[in-house]
Amino acid sequence: MNHKTNPPDLVQWVDPDIGAISHLLAATVQTVQMPHGMIRLAPNRPSSHPDPFLADHVTGFPLNIVSHRGERAFSIMAASGEGEPVFVSEMDHDFESASPHEFALLLEDAMIDVSYTVTEHTMIYRFAFTKPGRHLRFAAKAGGTVEVLPHEQAVRGREQINKLDCYFYAKADAPFASWKNAETKQDVSARVSFEAATIEVRIGFSYISCDQAKQNMEMELAGKTFARVSSEGRAAWNNALGRINVEGGTEKQRRIFYTALWRCHERQVNITENGRYFSGYDHRVHEGEKTPFYVDDWLWDTHRGLHPLRLIIDPNRERDILESYARMIAQNKDGWAPVFPLVFGNRAAMLGNHMAAVAADAYMKGVRGFDIETLYAGLRKNAIEGSRIPWYVGPATELDRVYLEKGFFPALAAGQKEWVPQVHGFERRQSVSVTLEHAYDDWCIAELARSLGKHDDAAMFAKRALNYRTLYNAATGVMAPRTADGEWVEPFDPGLSGGPGGRDYYAECNGLTWSWSVPHDVAGMMRLFGGRDAFLKRLDHFFNQPLGTSKWDFLGQFPDSTGLIGQFPMGNEPGFLIPYLYLYAGAPWRTQRRVREIMRFWFDDTPLGVCGDDDGGAMSAWYVFNAIGFYPLCPGRPVYGIGSPIFEKTRIQLGNGVFTIEARNVSAQNKYVQSAELNGQPLNKPWFEHRDLKNGGSLILNMGPRPNTQWGNRDEDAPPSL
């Protein structure tokens, strides 16, 4: 007799409040969403507040968060009482309930209970009034429309955000007592009044049309109660979170872990609506595509860990995301590969050509079924014809010609004024980071080219992958800026030079952090730094190195560099790999110690529990990987470095089986690997390959309280490098 067992209720461990207060920059959001769903909801709080989560009032609720850059489509808000209604209310977090699939709070001024839940393209808002004079206000931005359809008990609307049309259709479950339209400089709105004490509004959203929004609502909500939609949402999240099941650890660690894993499923979002989607890359509605269309990816952040994590737990979705990238390139009349592919189209943000890393990582790990040739053509175009200037997408400039001829992106001399119009006034040239990032991206393209039989390209890009060497200054021991004539910039302080965020020479972090950023050739970097012993001493010093100024002054200049341990900044992406560099120098036990202290000191289950910007799930993915005991060392190379898991057992559900990580005798003190077995065989090196896990298997780590300095300490045990 077969007994069907219910999956574990992992949603209970998710706390959307974690990270809701930022250390310095952007906080997380209490998002209600289906896994990768198009609809994302969270209360509208005053953006002018230093920490919106701490604001004591809400101004309404969106009908979609179009992008986590902050664009929110439309709004709905409730008010009650006699006289002119006020559609702003105080609220108290102690009268609030947040989960991945449902949210509820009390609007204290009018004593209205508000709750909402979602499907892929729709939402249900419920308003429970305790006073007479019951009103809902639907608003669109100035230039939009809001139309009341009283015979349908419905309201519909349209507005534009960044030239993207957004539509909604909202149907109430009670008749309208009255309605009134209004228009201000900020918005257009419709106020609808009711006699009923509880109102449910079922809302469809679309990027195609109001009719499509209505169809979305009718298809996804027909015959379903609020409770059923919420229950189905919880089941969907339990299924997504259930791809990784952990045993052991503390309740606090499970809350941090499953909240991080939840955030790894927010991006990217599938904007396909019943087999159709609007593309911001050619501004057309596409029909008949066999795979969904995914947008909203911050590639500079997510290529490091979020995409590699999805390759393990959801490879079919990652394949569809890669196919979406190929479509974006094909739909773009200029053929550029996007760098931040949002729903509006490509956003010129940050630096690098990191779609190359995502594509190479997937292809090297055996993912097929996407248009690799179109994807490769776009990546090649960016690398050959495109500019490397940060926060700019377009043809190469005179600065790029220096890079192609001399192997480095040129910096301005001290005191020299910028003359290249494409360079952003605040973001500057970031010359050293540009060189390092593109050297890595070019290596990724070389790996793809080699696999695709494009041997001339492979040789050219492999040569360019060594460009990082052009910026190593032996006199200072760091990757330092050079002017177009090859001179080192002087005066220069690797810890403090470069202005706000170091942006004259670096991206958001200083030269001491960026000098470690050669993921594809750590062995070559180690030789530049003087060999294994010098490399280890330098790494140890980095985690203890003074800031060179007061902490408040340092963070004032480098606000992204939060989560500090010495000079190491856990709060920003350039720091993510650094604890694992010990593996290359024969000291894996130091990696084990570092990642444990980082997880203990810089991740928590409170609103201050994320030590930097989550950046679309990038920070969360780092925690997920490290909590279960390994990390992708170099996307594009199918290799994982072993760290120090905090859970006794982890089961990763794969398409073809289960991969289990068992940490025997693990505890807070027992954080050091004494010995290991991989798929039944002794493992004497601190890394393994993707092929070792993709079809299922096991990694057994025998843990102890003191380092085993003999495990993984030989040169031949080091992870592969150039």
Mean pLDDT of the region 364-390: 98
Q: Which of 260, 155, 245, 143 is closest to 205 using CA atoms?
A: 155
Confidence of residue 193 (pLDDT cuts 50, 70, 90): very high
Q: How far apart are CA 424 and CA 711, in angstroms?
A: 48
pTM of the model: 0.97
Contact predicate 88/81, CB 8 Å: no
Residue by residue, DSSP assigns 706-720 as: S--TTTT-SGGGSPP
Q: Residue 234: pLDDT above 60?
A: yes
**What is the model's pLDDT at position 656?**
83
Supply φ then ψ for residue 149, to 5 degrees. -120, 80
Contact status, residue 48 vs residue 59, Cβ threshold 8 Å? no
pLDDT at residue 82 greater than cutoff 90: no
pLDDT score at 70: 78
Q: Give the model confidence (pLDDT) of 525-545 as tens digits.
A: 999 999 999 999 999 999 999
What end-to-end distance do the CA atoms of the chain give, in Å? Answer: 56
CA angle 15, 224, 152 (to 5 degrees): 115
Closest to 354 (Cα-Cα) out of 379, 328, 333, 371: 379
Residue 647 pLDDT > 70 = yes
Q: Which tens digits make up the pLDDT trace of 315-361?
A: 999 999 999 999 999 999 999 999 999 999 999 999 999 999 999 99
Taking the C-alpha atoms of residue 558 and residue 510, their distance in angstroms, rounded to an integer, is 8
Do residues 587 and 536 make contact, with C-beta atoms less than 8 angstroms apart?
yes
- Is residue 592 scored above 70 in pLDDT? yes
Would you say residue 51 has pLDDT above 70?
Answer: yes
| DSSP H or E run through 676 | strand 672-678
Query: Token digits for 330?
Result: 């094909």
Average pLDDT over residues 460-469: 98
Query: Which pLDDT score, from 0 to 100, does residue 655 have?
Result: 80
In the chain, the amino acid numbered 53 is: F
Q: How confident is residue 3, by pLDDT bands cut at 50, 70 and 90?
A: very low
- Cβ atoms of 100 and 262 closer than 8 Å: yes
pLDDT in tens, 663-706: 999 999 999 999 999 999 999 999 999 999 999 999 999 999 99
pLDDT for the residue 2: 44
In whole angstroms, give the CA distance from residue 173 to residue 46: 30
d(CA 437, CA 519): 10
pLDDT surpasses 90 at 289: no
Residue 189 falls in which region: left (phi positive, over 0), alpha (psi -120 to 50) or beta: beta
Give the residue-averaged pLDDT of 52-81: 94
**Percent of the chain surpassing pLDDT 70:** 99
CB burial string 120-139: b at 16+ within 10 A, e below: bbbbbbbbbbeeeebbbbbb
Q: Residue 5: its pLDDT value, please?
A: 54
Joined tokens for residue 174: 């009670």
HSE at residue 229, side-chain half, CA atoms within 13 A, is 29
**CA-CA-CA-CA torsion sign (652, 13, 47, 185):** positive
Residue 29 confidence (pLDDT) above 50: yes
Mean predicted lDDT score pLDDT of the chain: 97
Order across the sheet with 134-141: list the strands.
75-80, 134-141, 187-194, 178-183
